[in-house]
Amino acid sequence: MIVGGRTALPLRVEALRQLRRRRTAFALGFLVLLPFILVGAFALAGPSNSQPGQTDLVDLATSGAVNFTIFTVFASAGFLLVVIVALFCGDTVASEASWSSLRYLLAAPVPRGWLLRQKLVVALGYSALSLVLLPGVALGAGLAFYGWQPVHTPLGDSYPAGEGLARVGLVMAYLAVWMLLVGSLAFWLSTVTDTPLGAVGGAVGLVIVSNILDAITALGSLREVLPTHYQFAWTDALGIPVQYDAMAKGCVGALAYSAVFLVLAWRHFASKDIVS
Amino acid sequence: MRFGEMWRSFRRWPRGQRIGAAGLVLVLLAGVAVAVAALRDPAPRTEDVRIAVADGPARDQRVTIDATIYVPAGVDAGHRAPAVLVAHGFGGSKADVAADATELAKRGYVVLAYSARGFGASTGRIALDSPDYEVADARQLVDWLAARPEVQLDRPGDPRVGVTGGSYGGALSLLLAGYDQRIDAIAPLITWNDLGRAFFPNAATPNAAAPNAATPSSAAGAAPTDGVFKRLWAGLLFSAGGAARPASVGPGSSGSPGTAGGPPDPCGQLAVQLCREYQQTARTGRPTRALLALLRRSSPASVLDRIHAPTLLVQGQTDSLFPLSEADLNARGIAANGTPVKVVWYAGGHDGSGELAETDRLRDLVAAWFGHYLAGGPDPGTRFEYTRISPPRASDSSAPRTRTVIAPEHPTQPQHALVPLAGPAQTVLNPPGGNPAAISSLPGLGDVPALALSGLGTDLPGQAAAFESRPLNAAVAVVGSSTVDIVVASSGSEAVLFGKLYDVDIAGRAELPRRLVAPFRVTGLRPGVPRTVTVTLPGIVHRFDAGHRLRLVLATTDQAYAGPTDPAAYQVSLAAGTALAAPLVPGTPKPTGASPVWWLAVGLLVVAAAALAGGQLTRRLRPRGAVASRPELAGVPLVVEDLVKAYRGGLVAVDQVSFRVEHGQVCGLLGPNGAGKTTTLRVLMGLVHPTSGLVRVFGQVVTPGAAVLARVGAFVEGPGFLPHLSGLDNLTLYWRATGRPLAEARLDDVLAVAGLGDAVHRRVRTYSHGMRQRLAIAQAMLGMPDLLVLDEPTNGLDPPQIRAMREVLRRYVAPQGAAPGAAVRGEGATGRTVLVSSHLLAEVEQTCTHVVVMNHGRLVAAGPVPDLVGAGRLEDAFLQLLEQPSSSDDHRVMVAGGDQQATETR
């Protein structure tokens, strides 16, 4: 009756265990609600009072569905999406430890490396879902309220909406790779600490510290090594022509950091004495 | 932690880890040493010198030049090096060029940086690069260099020397090369061709000839007498030259201001005649003939045909003082002799600073030029280079904004793109007094974005006429000066206008590239009679994107220039049938450093290193030397062999514990708090790594996630449930997490043990402690495992529940159909095994068949309950056992009777 470790903790089971949590519902629910909140805010605000000749992403947000999607992504990529990805990835192991159910799961038996793998896959799956949900719902809301219009950029360029949609896809693909860095960091912290708040808060805190260091221009080209230096490199995908060099560097950096964090997580968890 | 403790803990590391750490420290130290050695360049030797020179038309004025000579390390009379003379810009001194001089010296040249007469600590008055004064001084500096032992000589008295400098110093380079044939190479930067035309530009030529058969940015030579006075720049430079010098000036200088208590001198350090002519011009706005003659003498345009030294001409794209056309005219004149000329346009200029200054690129260009023509290095060629400037990127604030483009040559007949403009004839007014005047740029601030200046009135209403093109189908990358024909009629006898070419984007925002304007004056008009002129707009490197429009604006005023003060009205329109001709110079962008490929390589290296580290470390965690499975123990549920668990800091929780639990037993694990029971159980569950020793379950060694743990059900240190799921869901999902089919779970039996009834459908967060306890025991029993491990199962249960639990445990070990207690009497060897840890000794006495007693991490006793208890109670026996001093050699071991195998003494 001894079963091989490979069939332990199937992905469906882990996904179900995470699904019915309140925080999952809140996070995904908020992402669905956010575009409609923005639509309401724009409707209340009335015509923008910025100077003529000075347009910003905000002013262009109501000019079409794809513009609205780009604005929503821009508004949330800096902090909200980082927090949500850190939440999904950082609280998965730590919350099991805090509920004392981790030891029973490990004794089931679920091999430690396998447990991490399944939990990471499900956490990344939820993160990817949120990365798809936000622009998807924003696009829907934009279509309903602003219509299918060509895309205008703050620099004055414009291109058809279909091409804009493809570019938004490129932006989300880049964000998916970059968010891997945040998720890996949160996941590693999740194996180190027993409190979910410590893991999620620690990951978000380190991202904030990295952003602060990135603002110190005196560091010069040393800043390129910081993990969050290329956080907004996806804006290059929206200009004419598309410039890939910053995004390429961002992807490589994110993958390198993720590899380091994940190895740290595996190594720590494998050699750790579980006392939770 | 003190050093001694750190050292001791380091000594306790496994050897491989120690070697690895020591190696890492050594590698780091070596890296630091290499970095320090590489970064330390041998600094050149510097020496401040005062050189006495004689200048003036009769060579009778004595002046002391303050200079610094930089000699590279390793250069002396035995190893001579070529020399470079470095001149500074207007208003500066030798201190401004100290950094450039040091850089050149590091590359192996003997560098002489000096302050020109009238600047810094040099005596004399400023004569504006006059051949009689500054150029004569420089020739004597070359004589001085020829006399130095470190300087390489071509012939006696003829050193191998190059000259470089920016602006004022650049013109000196050109003039010196024209007047002194000993100069072997020059690199003038951002300098002028004709100083008169630079300060009195006139961009209009009377004949509407075909688009220029000339270099991309050459102003057709309109006479400076009719030019528009560039008064802001002139005033700035005059002030820089006129600043009074501190009183400590050496004797023998001529004309030091304000020493003898006389009236303060408004001319400052400027030569007297120059100063007077300028003051006259500044009053009227029209140049005097004497001033133009002076400026002409100070212009390289007068000696271009005599320059035979190979010339590197660098001009700034962000420069309203000496625009790109000045360099093009120099280039044409010098190249006509057959002298090698290389033209480079770069992003900075008198108005550009910061990143646009491209300091490193210029230093490399100058060094490469001198490297070939002075030192015999590789030939840099004469390809034409210009720079594309992009706006700052939000996505990557450290990304470079400039991109060098290299064209095969500086074209003399560039292609043109013809862009038709449209617009009605418009009347524009020149206000009385020239006030208000539009602001196009402020000297030194050419890179200020349009947004910042938009509030300052760039084009005032009524003063500007605009002509726009249609939106462009394709991008037009203009490199150089565009030309356009316009028709002007004036209410007076002349018209002064300022031509600007805007880039208008889709949103309607207009940008003036580099904030440059082209002033022009049309003279000899009759009131109301139109004249057609060709206007040459400023030289720019700018890409007009597809969908953008070109807008030509003709304005009547500009703050930086002196327009007429009399009110006038002009009517301007486009000449019929003509279009704006924009020069195009296609080229290939120079590849920038740090390409993504390099990044990819580094990234892959990091990933590979991480994977290697991960693989190596997980291999260490498997127990070494132990045989993974011993088939002869396959029937024994639990064997603990020499288990030791020691924590850092010295605490030994479990110390050489060995015992066995046989099939069908209900074994009690007893001991006071801190005895090591829970640690042992955690090792049994694979949660804690033992320091040494191992635990075997059914013959297999227990490691984290070992497959044999599927036959073990555990309840240790309290329940652990997902609070947001119901009790039933918790059990179901837990079972499904093991990967085994649901039918094997025996869910109904287990739920009967839990005895929760309908409450199993409620969320666990609503349960009481006792309910969770029972559910957790039920979870441990899922699948009816062969070895059931329970830690304090009766904690929180009320007496009926405790009794029920007792029955459950008894039934659990009994084989199917056998009477309860059969196993106790040793009948039948099938059924399951239970290991119970509890403090309730009365319960243990009733439930358990065997006992294991631990104290202070050591095994104290093990054997059947009757043997241990004897005649009395378990509690008494237990306390008596605890009082005995425990030692590893003397365990009171009960020899079991019957079928049980003997436990051994250690």
**CA atoms of B894 and B891, how far apart (whole Å):** 9
Residue A114 lies in a domain: yes
List, in sequence order, every beta strand (DSSP E) within B585-720. 588-589, 638-646, 652-661, 666-670, 692-697, 700-701, 712-715
**CA atoms of A81 and A131, how far apart (whole Å):** 8
Mutate to test the interface with A, among B738, B742, B786 (most CBs of A within 10 A): B738
Query: What's residue B825's pLDDT?
Result: 47
Query: What's residue B895's pLDDT?
Result: 35
Reference B124, options B132, B86, B85, A52; nearest CA is B132
Q: pLDDT tens-digit profile of B242-282?
A: 764 543 343 434 444 444 556 777 788 888 888 889 888 88
Average pLDDT for residues B106-127, to the nearest whole number? 92
Asked if the model's pLDDT at residue B209 lies above 70, the reply is no
Query: What's residue B891's pLDDT?
Result: 45
pLDDT band at B57 (very low <50, low <70, confident <90, very high): very high
Token readout for A268 is: 């720590």
C-alpha angle B80/B84/B87, rounded to 5°?
155
Question: Which of A:70-129 have CB within 8 Å of B?
Answer: 99-115
Q: What percent of chain B has pLDDT over 90?
A: 46
Reference B463, options B542, B374, B551, B555; nearest CA is B555
| Cβ-Cβ contacts under 8 Å for B768 (sequence gap 6 or more) | none
- The total number of structural domains in chain A stands at 1
Token readout for B91 is: 């208003």
Question: Which of B:408-467 have CB within 8 Å of A?
Answer: 451, 454
Contact B710 A109 (CB under 8 A): yes
Residue A13 lies in a domain: no
Query: What's residue B796's pLDDT?
Result: 83
Angstroms from A4 CA to nearest CA on chain B: 7
Residue A157 is nearest to which of B506, B600, B719, comparing CB atoms? B506
Mutate to test the interface with A, among B390, B502, B544, B599 (most CBs of A within 10 A): B599
Angstroms from B261 CA to nearest CA on chain A: 49
Residue A276 lies in a domain: no
Query: What's residue B537's pLDDT?
Result: 93
The dihedral through the CA atoms of B210, B213, B214, B215 has a sign that is positive
A245 touches chain B (CB under 8 A): yes
Average pLDDT for residues A5-19, to the nearest whole number? 82
Residues in chain B with CB shorter than 8 Å from the CB of A15 are none
Contact present, B541 and B394 (Cβ < 8 Å): no
In this predicted complex, what is the ipTM? 0.88
Residue A77 lies in a domain: yes
Contact B733 A13 (CB under 8 A): yes
**CA atoms of A109 and A115, how far apart (whole Å):** 10
Asked if the model's pLDDT at residue B890 lies above 50, the reply is no
| Cβ-Cβ contacts under 8 Å for B785 (sequence gap 6 or more) | B710, B711, B712, B713, B832
Contact A99 B723 (CB under 8 A): yes
Angstroms from A154 CA to nearest CA on chain B: 9
The DSSP H or E segment spanning B429 is strand B426-430
Contact present, B109 and B82 (Cβ < 8 Å): yes
**How deeply is B647 buried, as exposed, middle or buried, from its count of CB atoms within 10 A (0-12, 13-18, 19+)?**
exposed
A vs B: CB pairs below 8 A: 206
Residue A203 lies in a domain: yes
Largest Cα span, chain B: 140
Quickly list H helices, B424-535.
450-453
Q: pLDDT tens-digit profile of B673-692?
A: 888 899 999 999 999 999 99
On the question of a cis peptide bond just before residue A109, with omega within 30 degrees of 0, the verdict is yes
Residue A197 lies in a domain: yes
Query: What's residue B249's pLDDT?
Result: 40
Residues in chain A with CB shorter than 8 Å from the CB of B710 are 1-3, 108-109
The one-character DSSP state at B414 is -
B687 touches chain A (CB under 8 A): yes
Number of H helices, E strands in chain B: 21, 38
The one-character DSSP state at B456 is G
Lowest mean pLDDT: which of A58-72, B154-168, B240-254, B324-338? Answer: B240-254
Question: Which of B:604-623 have CB within 8 Å of A?
Answer: 606-607, 610-611, 613-614, 617-618, 621
Compare all CA atoms of chain A with the CA of B621 and give the residue at the minimum distance.
Answer: A271
Residues in chain B with CB shorter than 8 Å from the CB of A94 are none
Contact B603 A256 (CB under 8 A): yes
Angstroms from A171 CA to nearest CA on chain B: 12
Asked if the model's pLDDT at residue B456 lies above 90, the reply is no
Residue B737 is nearest to which of A105, A152, A158, comparing CB atoms? A105
Residue A10 lies in a domain: no
B453-459 LR contacts (CB < 8 Å, sep 24+):
B454/A51, B454/A53, B458/B512, B459/B500, B459/B553, B459/B555
Residue B724 is nearest to which of A8, A10, A20, comparing CB atoms? A20
Q: pLDDT tens-digit profile of B850-869?
A: 999 998 889 988 989 888 88
pLDDT band at B625 (very low <50, low <70, confident <90, very high): low
Question: Which of A:149-208 have CB within 8 Å of B?
Answer: 152, 155-158
Lowest mean pLDDT: which of A223-227, B157-161, B869-873? Answer: B869-873
SS3 B452: helix
Asked if the model's pLDDT at residue B721 lies above 50, the reply is yes
Reference B497, options B484, B478, B508; nearest CA is B484
What predicted TM-score, i.e. pTM, was given to this entire model?
0.71
Residue A4 lies in a domain: no
Average pLDDT for residues B841-858, to the nearest whole number? 88
What is chain B's mean pLDDT, rounded? 84
Question: Which of B:831-860 have CB within 8 Å of A?
Answer: none
Give, to the nearest 10 degrees, the angle between helix B747-754 and helix B769-780: 150
Query: What's residue B245's pLDDT?
Result: 55
Reference B110, options B157, B142, B66, B135; nearest CA is B142
Q: pLDDT tens-digit profile of B539-595?
A: 999 989 888 899 999 999 998 999 999 999 999 999 988 899 999 998 888 776 556
Asked if the model's pLDDT at residue B733 lies above 50, the reply is yes
Query: What's residue B408's pLDDT?
Result: 87
Compare all CA atoms of chain A with the CA of B789 and give the residue at the minimum distance.
Answer: A107
B92 touches chain A (CB under 8 A): no
Phi/psi of residue B519, each to 5°?
Answer: -80, 145
Contact A105 B618 (CB under 8 A): no
Query: What's residue A82's pLDDT?
Result: 96
| Cβ-Cβ contacts under 8 Å for B696 (sequence gap 6 or more) | B630, B633, B636, B638, B639, B640, B641, B702
Average pLDDT for residues B775-798, to the nearest whole number? 91
pLDDT band at A140 (very low <50, low <70, confident <90, very high): very high
What range does the domain containing A265 cover? 25-270
Average pLDDT for residues B387-392, to the nearest whole number? 80
